Amino acid sequence: MSQRIAIAQTQGCFAAPLAALDQLDDEARRARTNGADLLVLPEMFLTGYNLGAERCADLAITLHDPLFDQLRSVAIRHNIALCVGYPERVDDRIANSAALIDASGQLLLNHRKVHLFGALDRAMFSCSGDRFDVVVWQGWRVGLAICYDIEFPESARLMGLAGADLLLVPTALMTPYDVVANHVVRARAYENQVYLAYANRCGSEQTLDYVGLSSIIAPDGSVLAQANADFGQIIAPLDPVRQAEIRARDPMLADRRPTLYHPLAQAPLVQARSNPR
Protein backbone atom coordinates (compact mmCIF):
# COMPACT_ATOMS: atom_id res chain seq x y z
CA MET A 1 0.00 0.00 0.00
CA SER A 2 1.37 3.42 -0.98
CA GLN A 3 1.76 5.90 1.89
CA ARG A 4 3.24 9.35 2.30
CA ILE A 5 5.82 10.16 4.96
CA ALA A 6 6.79 13.58 6.31
CA ILE A 7 9.73 14.80 8.37
CA ALA A 8 9.59 17.91 10.54
CA GLN A 9 13.10 19.38 10.77
CA THR A 10 13.05 21.67 13.77
CA GLN A 11 15.12 23.22 16.51
CA GLY A 12 12.47 22.08 18.97
CA CYS A 13 11.61 23.58 22.34
CA PHE A 14 14.54 23.16 24.72
CA ALA A 15 13.57 21.69 28.12
CA ALA A 16 9.92 22.63 27.52
CA PRO A 17 7.79 19.52 26.87
CA LEU A 18 4.45 21.34 26.92
CA ALA A 19 5.68 23.82 24.30
CA ALA A 20 7.00 20.85 22.29
CA LEU A 21 3.55 19.26 22.40
CA ASP A 22 2.04 22.46 21.01
CA GLN A 23 4.64 22.44 18.23
CA LEU A 24 3.95 18.78 17.56
CA ASP A 25 0.27 19.55 17.20
CA ASP A 26 1.04 22.22 14.59
CA GLU A 27 3.49 19.97 12.73
CA ALA A 28 1.04 17.06 12.70
CA ARG A 29 -1.75 19.27 11.38
CA ARG A 30 0.48 20.62 8.63
CA ALA A 31 1.76 17.18 7.64
CA ARG A 32 -1.72 15.69 7.51
CA THR A 33 -3.02 18.63 5.48
CA ASN A 34 -0.25 17.91 2.97
CA GLY A 35 -1.32 14.29 2.71
CA ALA A 36 1.19 12.59 5.03
CA ASP A 37 0.25 9.36 6.80
CA LEU A 38 3.31 9.37 9.09
CA LEU A 39 5.30 12.23 10.62
CA VAL A 40 8.84 11.67 11.92
CA LEU A 41 10.38 14.07 14.45
CA PRO A 42 14.04 14.43 15.53
CA GLU A 43 15.84 12.64 18.36
CA MET A 44 14.61 13.71 21.81
CA PHE A 45 12.02 16.00 20.22
CA LEU A 46 9.87 16.19 23.33
CA THR A 47 12.54 17.77 25.53
CA GLY A 48 15.56 18.76 23.47
CA TYR A 49 18.71 16.68 23.24
CA ASN A 50 21.68 18.42 24.91
CA LEU A 51 20.07 18.58 28.35
CA GLY A 52 22.77 17.43 30.73
CA ALA A 53 22.27 14.56 33.15
CA GLU A 54 20.24 16.29 35.87
CA ARG A 55 17.77 18.03 33.57
CA CYS A 56 17.40 14.91 31.43
CA ALA A 57 16.50 12.85 34.50
CA ASP A 58 14.01 15.48 35.64
CA LEU A 59 12.24 15.49 32.27
CA ALA A 60 12.24 11.74 31.65
CA ILE A 61 8.85 10.04 31.43
CA THR A 62 7.47 6.51 31.28
CA LEU A 63 5.11 5.06 28.70
CA HIS A 64 2.30 5.60 31.22
CA ASP A 65 3.00 9.30 31.85
CA PRO A 66 0.25 11.85 31.02
CA LEU A 67 2.69 13.51 28.60
CA PHE A 68 2.89 10.26 26.66
CA ASP A 69 -0.90 10.12 26.58
CA GLN A 70 -0.83 13.57 24.99
CA LEU A 71 1.43 12.24 22.23
CA ARG A 72 -1.21 9.62 21.54
CA SER A 73 -3.89 12.31 21.52
CA VAL A 74 -2.05 14.32 18.84
CA ALA A 75 -1.92 11.25 16.61
CA ILE A 76 -5.64 10.59 17.09
CA ARG A 77 -6.66 14.24 16.66
CA HIS A 78 -4.90 14.57 13.31
CA ASN A 79 -5.33 10.96 12.15
CA ILE A 80 -1.61 10.59 11.53
CA ALA A 81 1.06 8.20 12.78
CA LEU A 82 3.95 9.76 14.73
CA CYS A 83 7.55 8.83 15.43
CA VAL A 84 8.69 10.94 18.38
CA GLY A 85 11.92 10.93 20.39
CA TYR A 86 11.92 11.45 24.17
CA PRO A 87 13.85 10.57 27.37
CA GLU A 88 12.36 7.44 28.90
CA ARG A 89 12.53 6.50 32.57
CA VAL A 90 13.20 2.77 32.91
CA ASP A 91 13.06 1.97 36.63
CA ASP A 92 15.88 4.11 38.03
CA ARG A 93 17.67 4.56 34.70
CA ILE A 94 17.15 6.82 31.69
CA ALA A 95 17.02 5.74 28.03
CA ASN A 96 17.15 7.75 24.83
CA SER A 97 13.96 6.45 23.22
CA ALA A 98 11.67 6.96 20.24
CA ALA A 99 8.07 5.81 19.97
CA LEU A 100 6.10 4.86 16.86
CA ILE A 101 2.42 5.61 17.47
CA ASP A 102 -0.23 4.88 14.86
CA ALA A 103 -3.12 7.16 13.90
CA SER A 104 -5.41 5.44 16.42
CA GLY A 105 -3.01 6.26 19.26
CA GLN A 106 -1.68 2.72 19.60
CA LEU A 107 1.99 2.31 20.50
CA LEU A 108 3.47 0.07 17.81
CA LEU A 109 7.14 0.25 18.77
CA ASN A 110 9.28 1.82 21.46
CA HIS A 111 12.98 1.77 20.54
CA ARG A 112 15.77 2.52 23.01
CA LYS A 113 18.99 3.81 21.49
CA VAL A 114 21.42 0.92 21.31
CA HIS A 115 24.69 2.73 20.55
CA LEU A 116 25.32 5.61 22.94
CA PHE A 117 27.36 8.42 21.43
CA GLY A 118 30.47 9.34 23.43
CA ALA A 119 30.49 11.24 26.71
CA LEU A 120 27.47 13.30 25.65
CA ASP A 121 25.05 10.36 25.60
CA ARG A 122 26.68 8.47 28.42
CA ALA A 123 26.35 11.45 30.76
CA MET A 124 22.57 11.47 30.29
CA PHE A 125 21.62 7.85 29.59
CA SER A 126 22.43 4.75 31.62
CA CYS A 127 19.97 2.45 29.88
CA SER A 128 20.65 1.38 26.30
CA GLY A 129 18.60 -0.81 24.02
CA ASP A 130 19.49 -4.37 23.07
CA ARG A 131 17.43 -5.04 19.95
CA PHE A 132 16.16 -3.70 16.64
CA ASP A 133 12.54 -4.77 16.34
CA VAL A 134 10.41 -4.58 13.21
CA VAL A 135 6.65 -3.99 13.34
CA VAL A 136 3.86 -3.65 10.80
CA TRP A 137 2.30 -0.27 10.04
CA GLN A 138 -0.23 0.13 7.19
CA GLY A 139 1.18 -2.96 5.48
CA TRP A 140 4.78 -1.73 5.77
CA ARG A 141 7.34 -3.48 7.95
CA VAL A 142 9.01 -0.69 9.91
CA GLY A 143 12.18 -0.55 12.00
CA LEU A 144 13.56 2.20 14.22
CA ALA A 145 17.11 3.39 14.87
CA ILE A 146 18.22 6.52 16.72
CA CYS A 147 21.03 8.72 15.39
CA TYR A 148 24.34 6.92 16.08
CA ASP A 149 22.57 3.55 15.70
CA ILE A 150 22.36 3.96 11.92
CA GLU A 151 26.10 4.59 11.62
CA PHE A 152 26.67 0.90 12.40
CA PRO A 153 25.86 -1.14 9.26
CA GLU A 154 24.89 -4.14 11.35
CA SER A 155 21.91 -2.23 12.80
CA ALA A 156 20.21 -1.60 9.48
CA ARG A 157 21.17 -5.06 8.21
CA LEU A 158 19.47 -6.75 11.17
CA MET A 159 16.26 -4.91 10.39
CA GLY A 160 16.64 -5.59 6.68
CA LEU A 161 17.01 -9.30 7.34
CA ALA A 162 13.93 -9.14 9.58
CA GLY A 163 11.98 -7.96 6.54
CA ALA A 164 11.95 -4.20 7.10
CA ASP A 165 10.68 -2.07 4.21
CA LEU A 166 11.10 1.28 5.98
CA LEU A 167 13.61 2.54 8.55
CA LEU A 168 12.82 5.59 10.69
CA VAL A 169 15.82 7.42 12.12
CA PRO A 170 15.22 10.31 14.54
CA THR A 171 18.58 12.05 14.96
CA ALA A 172 20.44 15.00 16.46
CA LEU A 173 23.34 15.21 14.04
CA MET A 174 25.73 18.06 14.76
CA THR A 175 28.75 19.49 13.03
CA PRO A 176 31.14 18.19 11.75
CA TYR A 177 29.29 14.95 10.93
CA ASP A 178 27.38 16.02 7.81
CA VAL A 179 28.93 13.02 6.01
CA VAL A 180 26.33 10.88 7.79
CA ALA A 181 23.41 12.90 6.41
CA ASN A 182 24.88 13.20 2.93
CA HIS A 183 26.33 9.73 2.40
CA VAL A 184 25.99 7.14 5.18
CA VAL A 185 22.20 7.02 5.35
CA ARG A 186 21.95 6.75 1.57
CA ALA A 187 24.25 3.73 1.70
CA ARG A 188 22.12 2.14 4.44
CA ALA A 189 19.00 2.49 2.30
CA TYR A 190 20.76 1.14 -0.80
CA GLU A 191 22.49 -1.85 0.78
CA ASN A 192 19.29 -3.00 2.50
CA GLN A 193 16.84 -1.88 -0.22
CA VAL A 194 14.65 -0.01 2.24
CA TYR A 195 13.04 3.39 2.39
CA LEU A 196 14.76 5.48 5.06
CA ALA A 197 13.55 8.64 6.80
CA TYR A 198 16.34 10.57 8.53
CA ALA A 199 14.85 13.29 10.75
CA ASN A 200 17.42 15.74 12.10
CA ARG A 201 17.40 18.86 14.22
CA CYS A 202 18.42 22.27 12.93
CA GLY A 203 19.75 25.43 14.56
CA SER A 204 21.73 25.41 17.80
CA GLU A 205 21.21 24.02 21.27
CA GLN A 206 23.57 24.82 24.12
CA THR A 207 27.03 24.08 22.66
CA LEU A 208 25.80 22.05 19.67
CA ASP A 209 25.21 23.24 16.12
CA TYR A 210 22.97 20.89 14.14
CA VAL A 211 23.45 20.39 10.41
CA GLY A 212 19.83 19.81 9.36
CA LEU A 213 19.89 17.92 6.03
CA SER A 214 16.98 15.65 6.94
CA SER A 215 16.10 13.34 4.07
CA ILE A 216 13.76 10.68 2.75
CA ILE A 217 15.64 8.09 0.71
CA ALA A 218 14.43 5.44 -1.72
CA PRO A 219 15.55 1.77 -1.67
CA ASP A 220 18.01 2.43 -4.50
CA GLY A 221 19.76 5.14 -2.47
CA SER A 222 18.26 8.04 -4.40
CA VAL A 223 17.07 11.06 -2.42
CA LEU A 224 13.33 11.68 -2.70
CA ALA A 225 13.38 14.81 -0.54
CA GLN A 226 16.03 16.65 1.46
CA ALA A 227 15.91 19.68 3.72
CA ASN A 228 18.59 22.32 3.91
CA ALA A 229 19.87 23.69 7.22
CA ASP A 230 16.64 25.52 8.11
CA PHE A 231 13.35 24.75 9.83
CA GLY A 232 10.68 23.08 7.69
CA GLN A 233 8.92 19.92 6.54
CA ILE A 234 9.72 17.54 3.71
CA ILE A 235 7.39 14.88 2.37
CA ALA A 236 7.66 11.97 -0.07
CA PRO A 237 5.66 8.90 -1.16
CA LEU A 238 6.50 5.32 -0.27
CA ASP A 239 5.96 3.17 -3.36
CA PRO A 240 5.84 -0.60 -2.78
CA VAL A 241 5.93 -1.33 -6.51
CA ARG A 242 9.17 0.61 -6.93
CA GLN A 243 10.67 -1.19 -3.95
CA ALA A 244 9.66 -4.59 -5.33
CA GLU A 245 11.20 -3.76 -8.71
CA ILE A 246 14.49 -2.71 -7.08
CA ARG A 247 14.62 -5.89 -5.01
CA ALA A 248 13.85 -8.08 -8.02
CA ARG A 249 16.46 -6.34 -10.17
CA ASP A 250 19.24 -6.61 -7.57
CA PRO A 251 18.54 -9.39 -5.02
CA MET A 252 21.31 -8.25 -2.70
CA LEU A 253 19.98 -9.83 0.50
CA ALA A 254 19.37 -13.15 -1.26
CA ASP A 255 22.88 -13.08 -2.75
CA ARG A 256 24.57 -12.79 0.64
CA ARG A 257 26.88 -15.60 1.82
CA PRO A 258 26.23 -15.62 5.59
CA THR A 259 28.49 -18.60 6.30
CA LEU A 260 31.47 -16.38 5.49
CA TYR A 261 30.45 -13.59 7.84
CA HIS A 262 30.55 -15.30 11.25
CA PRO A 263 33.95 -13.79 12.15
CA LEU A 264 32.38 -10.33 12.05
CA ALA A 265 30.48 -11.08 15.24
CA GLN A 266 33.53 -12.51 16.99
CA ALA A 267 36.44 -10.41 15.78
CA PRO A 268 38.24 -8.37 18.46
CA LEU A 269 38.71 -4.66 17.97
CA VAL A 270 42.01 -4.13 16.17
CA GLN A 271 43.80 -1.03 17.39
CA ALA A 272 45.44 1.15 14.79
CA ARG A 273 49.19 0.73 14.71
CA SER A 274 51.42 3.64 15.53
CA ASN A 275 53.25 5.17 12.60
CA PRO A 276 56.74 3.67 12.26
CA ARG A 277 59.50 5.86 13.59
Say whether 43 is catalytic.
yes
Catalytic residue among 13, 27, 43, 83: 43
84 φ, ψ to 5°?
Answer: -130, 130
Catalytic residue among 56, 88, 113, 151: 113
- The closest of 86, 79, 85 to 102, measured between CA atoms, is 79
Say whether 147 is catalytic.
yes
Catalytic residue among 83, 127, 147, 202: 147
Tell me which residues are annotated as active site: 43, 113, 147
